[in-house]
Amino acid sequence: MGSFTLRHIGAVGGDREALLRAVGYDSLDALSAAAVPAGILQRAALDLPPALDEAAAAAELAAFAAANNPRRAMIGLGYHGTITPAVIRRNVLENPAWYTAYTPYQPEISQGRLEALLNFQTMVSDLTGLPTAGASLLDEGTAVAEAMALARRVTRKGSVFLVDAQVLPQTLAVVRTRALATGVDVVVVDGDLVEALQTHEAFAIVVQVPGVDGGLRTPDELRALAATAHDNNATVIAAADLLALTLLTAPGEWGADVAVGSTQRFGVPLFYGGPHAAYIAVRDGMERQLPGRLVGLSVDADGTPALRLALQTREQHIRRDRATSNICTAQVLLAVVASMYAVYHGPQGLRAIADGVHDKARRLAAALEGHGELTSGSFFDTLTVRVPGRATDVVDAAAAGGVQLRLVDDDTVGVSVGEDATETDLAAVAEAFGAAPPTDAGAGDLAGHVREVDYLTHPVFNSRHSETEMLRYLRGLADRDFALDRGMIPLGSCTMKLNPTTSMEAISLPGFANLHPFAPAADAQGYLAMITRLCDALAEITGYDRVSVQPNAGSQGEFAGLMAIRSYHLANGDEQRTVCLIPASAHGTNAASAVMAGMKVVVVKTADDGSVDLADLRAKIAANADTLAAIMVTYPSTHGVYEDTITDLCALVHDAGGQVYVDGANLNALLGLARPGRFGADVSHLNLHKTFAIPHGGGGPGVGPVAVREHLAPYLPSHPLLAEAGPATSYGPVSAAPFGSAGVLPISYAFIAMLGADGLRESGQAAVLAANYVARRLAEHYPILYTGANGLVAHECIVDLRPLTKATGVTVDDVAKRLIDYGFHAPTMSFPVSGTLMIEPTESESKAELDRFCDAMIAIRAEADAVASGEWPADDNPLHNAPHTPARVLADEWAHPYPRSLAARPGGQRLGSLGTGATDKYWPASARIDGVFGDRNLVCSCPPVESYAD
């Protein structure tokens, strides 16, 4: 066993033996043999390099980083040099209190990151001049695609989507991919947009601000464009650079209905393309159509203002195939970084940064006079320079001077100034063009473009400009939240395991952090080598032939995989194959992704034992014999069971001409134990932010690689700016960057390298052992809904609370919120079966923590019984009143029929440094939050301070 394996797995040695004894097996292998169907159990060891210890893995990552050559990235195209304030890098990006948090579905323990996201929404709303902004999307390209889908839903007219020729090339390619399957006709307009709006029956138009060549349309031009669009009932989408908007007329001012873009240059490293938070903001009346998550204000049970996710009925986990989008994991951690950049700099600071960037661009423009011809006289940060026949020479000379420029074509060079560009860089650029270094003289200005509307006037953006204040603000917010650095987060299906510090450290190495996604391949050798080896390892682990890491969330991997299936059927002349069978228990993203890939969802029933009902499957296949495209199943199922019918299921679908998609989000139960690519599936997506240790970040980043067998390999995603990113036969890209969220791939690389074949298998086995241990201990107190062979579960188990609710009135919510008092994050609530809790302990938890959790659940059962027996009234008991905040417990009045100590310290948590108890007391920031109140009174940006007065 490699040394990291011992650090990663929570229960080893005597503790592991105790767990095994409790479950009734004498070894991990015996348990696997009993739990995993013999037909799929993998006996041979995976063919992976020997495990590295932590120091060796760190050295290997450092070598990969050193093999990249970021130079100074002045390529532009939506990715810009920026300076991450050290106080934010160390205390957010590198701080487990932020990066190990889960998506804020339990708002009472998430007020810190929810406030940071509300700041993000306020920042976006202010800068775009549009009233409602979401809490982040995946990248700029997909954000424009989401805006296109939104516009189509709202406008309900025609199928033409007009795209300004000034739109970023990768955005256009992502939009084309999305348009393919849904019958949208993408028309690129390289000329008069107003005329195009008059001649096409378009449902929407997207314009880029500033354009890809750096040029700016005047506000009057944009106003005329918006007016014509609105006359023709078309939605206007602005893809806008947020830093430019600190100086320019806001999209909302000139009439845009929707604004989207990236917030990368607000302090988020380039990361070779991601992760970065994209933004979306909409005009009034569109908020119920927003894709992705939205944070809103509500009140808690004490009437205190509190935040939670708003309007969730739009989302895939509720609306399924009628959701506004398939986005689940987004980019929370990066949105927090961007919002804190705005908090730290404030409106004046941001304006100064933008002025600095603009001033450098102007001085460079003046210096280049006579050495090339600028294509536009008004620009913010980007110059496009015509140098007939000399472009390659100029780009090469700049590289030699330490700067990467954009080679537009043989005659044209693009130069984009970022916050990090120095005078030395500017001189090197000038020299590459044969010009003298810039002086104080500038060319071009923003007269006529300047915004009049103020922004970021809220106190939060005007009071944290010293490092001390910033540090304390970050610490204060983090203290409100419960993340993995405090205790177990037993979330079914989300695999909240250890995020190893050794692998996290690598993401800040300049060689990984500062590389531009469109840097020449010669400057990206470290990344390219690491990505190849990671893809090979993932292929070996899953039994597939080819892997693409481009999708930047599980949902995007689903879309990519379904697009591969679609392409395959089309190539075979089977364009009628558009039906996607999806079991009733599937994750909501499955249905939403199928719709995006142009498929029709047909639901397959669940049998009594929780497995896919094969009789119903046969009937649905027969009913859709000619039109069957695919089945999408999760394995092990979301019911937490290894179904032994999986091979039959694959055969039935294949015999009918369909393809098998296995949702790999539950791969933690298969690590080293079974390989979907070998037991009958054609394609899967994986969730590196679940199984492969990338942190959840409070709701992103994610990486959702798509893995396929050989016959689907020609249909993996590609990229218009990097041929190496995918096959030439592809339908195109699904993400803006060639390798999606490349910057977090070192985390999974190191995780696999440090565990090796044996460690991965042992992790999978330990995860299954932990789940069975919890199931065994809880079974005497709560029914376990589904079990498979030998009464065993896979890596998670579903505790059925419905009988308890019926007998005592205590609900799933009561149990989940009471767990907070005991110092736990609640398990997954009411998915996939309403009225239940789905528990996934993962391999990383120790026996002591598993026991603490089981003890808490058992104690809660006794509390429920006390309610049932009448000892406590149904509306005044520790469960009903949970969670108990300091404000409640410290109140002068205490009128409840149970003591304060039971309210706040039911598990005997430690209160002082020398107190007794297994863990320190965690105090929730809010009492139970009323979600409905907030949906009725929607407030999604920082409210005026006076509103907190009472």
Ligand X SMILES: *Cc1c(COP(=O)(O)O)cnc(C)c1O
| x-or-dash string of contact with ligand X, 586-625, rule CB under 6 A | -x-x------------------------------------
State the minimum distance, in angstroms, from the CB of residue 58 to ligand X.
27
Two tokens, residue 741: 């969220």
Q: What are the helix (H) ranges across 828-918?
A: 847-868, 886-889, 900-904
User: Rounded distance, CA 41 to CA 395, Å?
Assistant: 54
* Residue of 391, 553, 649, 693 interacting with ligand X (CB under 6 A): 553
Single-letter code of the amino acid located at 805: T
Contact in structure between 695 and 485 (CB atoms under 8 Å): no
* Residue of 121, 166, 493, 578 interacting with ligand X (CB under 6 A): 493
Of 736, 695, 554, the residue nearest 77 (C-alpha):
736
Q: Which residue has the tokens 């995603």?
A: 717
| 168 vs 665, beta carbon nearer ligand X | 665
| 298 vs 493, beta carbon nearer ligand X | 493
CB atoms within 10 A of CB 38: 9
User: Rounded distance, CA 668 to CA 682, Å?
Assistant: 19
Among positions 28-67, residues that touch ligand X (CB under 6 A) are none
Q: Please, which residues bridge with residue 305 across strands?
A: 299
Two tokens, residue 449: 């473009």
Range in contact with ligand X (rule: CB under 6 A) among 201-209, 547-555, 598-606, 807-815: 547-555
Contact in structure between 731 and 175 (CB atoms under 8 Å): no
User: Rounded distance, CA 504 to CA 743, Å?
Assistant: 11
* Residue of 208, 624, 687, 718 interacting with ligand X (CB under 6 A): 687
For the chain, helix, strand, coil in percent to 5 are 45, 15, 45
Single-letter code of the amino acid located at 467: E
Range in contact with ligand X (rule: CB under 6 A) among 197-205, 500-508, 550-558, 753-761: 550-558
State the minimum distance, in angstroms, from the CB of residue 278 to ligand X.
15
Single-letter code of the amino acid located at 590: N
| 278 vs 399, beta carbon nearer ligand X | 278
| 166 vs 668, beta carbon nearer ligand X | 668
Range in contact with ligand X (rule: CB under 6 A) among 552-560, 647-655, 709-717, 748-756: 552-560
* Residue of 287, 663, 796, 849 interacting with ligand X (CB under 6 A): 663
* Residue of 10, 702, 841, 907 interacting with ligand X (CB under 6 A): 702
* Residue of 76, 704, 732, 733 interacting with ligand X (CB under 6 A): 704
State the minimum distance, in angstroms, from the CB of residue 734 to ligand X.
12
* Structure letter (DSSP) for residue 465: -
State the minimum distance, in angstroms, from the CB of residue 785 to ligand X.
17
State the minimum distance, in angstroms, from the CB of residue 587 to ligand X.
3
Q: Peptide bond preceding 490: is omega within 30 degrees of 0, i.e. cis? A: no
Q: Please, which residues bridge with residue 186 across strands?
A: 161
State the minimum distance, in angstroms, from the CB of residue 314 to ligand X.
16
65 in helix, strand or coil? helix
**Nearest residue to ligand X, by Cβ distance, number only:** 554
Q: Is 554 in the site for ligand X (CB under 6 A)?
A: yes
| 312 vs 805, beta carbon nearer ligand X | 312
State the minimum distance, in angstroms, from the CB of residue 634 to ligand X.
5
Give the DSSP H or E segment for 574: none
| 502 vs 542, beta carbon nearer ligand X | 542
272 in helix, strand or coil? helix
Q: Is 316 in the site for ligand X (CB under 6 A)?
A: no
Contact in structure between 543 and 678 (CB atoms under 8 Å): yes
| 84 vs 136, beta carbon nearer ligand X | 136
State the minimum distance, in angstroms, from the CB of residue 226 to ligand X.
33
Range in contact with ligand X (rule: CB under 6 A) among 404-412, 553-561, 737-745, 842-850: 553-561
Q: Is 634 in the site for ligand X (CB under 6 A)?
A: yes
| 663 vs 814, beta carbon nearer ligand X | 663
Give the DSSP H or E segment for 707: strand 706-708
Q: What are the helix (H) ranges across 200-325?
A: 219-231, 251-254, 316-319
* Structure letter (DSSP) for residue 601: E
| 296 vs 702, beta carbon nearer ligand X | 702
User: Rounded distance, CA 315 to CA 589, Å?
Assistant: 9
Among positions 324-353, residues that touch ligand X (CB under 6 A) are 328-329
User: Rounded distance, CA 848 to CA 854, Å?
Assistant: 10
Range in contact with ligand X (rule: CB under 6 A) among 377-385, 551-559, 784-792, 917-925: 551-559
State the minimum distance, in angstroms, from the CB of residue 745 to ligand X.
15
By CB under 6 A, the count of residues binding ligand X is 16
| 495 vs 909, beta carbon nearer ligand X | 495
* Residue of 665, 673, 713, 770 interacting with ligand X (CB under 6 A): 665
Angstrom CA distances, 171 to 176, 323, 735, stand at: 9, 23, 8
| x-or-dash string of contact with ligand X, 555-574, rule CB under 6 A | x-------------------
| 297 vs 703, beta carbon nearer ligand X | 703
| x-or-dash string of contact with ligand X, 254-293, rule CB under 6 A | ----------------------------------------
| 133 vs 667, beta carbon nearer ligand X | 667
| 384 vs 638, beta carbon nearer ligand X | 638
Give 902-905's long-range contacts (Cβ < 8 A, gap of 24+): 902/878, 903/821, 903/878, 904/821
First to last CA, the chain: 59
State the minimum distance, in angstroms, from the CB of residue 316 to ligand X.
9
State the minimum distance, in angstroms, from the CB of residue 824 to ligand X.
20
Between β-strands 403-404 and 72-73, what pairing exists: parallel, antiparallel or unpaired? Answer: parallel
User: Rounded distance, CA 738 to CA 717, Å?
Assistant: 9
* Residue 663 dihedral angles phi and psi, to the nearest 5°: -65, 115
Of 836, 828, 843, 761, the residue nearest 795 (C-alpha):
843
Q: Is 110 in the site for ligand X (CB under 6 A)?
A: no
Number of residues written out for the chain? 950
| 449 vs 690, beta carbon nearer ligand X | 690
| 70 vs 640, beta carbon nearer ligand X | 640
Two tokens, residue 408: 């537009």
State the minimum distance, in angstroms, from the CB of residue 320 to ligand X.
12
Residues at the interface with ligand X (CB under 6 A): 328-329, 493-494, 553-555, 587, 589, 634, 638, 663, 665, 687, 702, 704
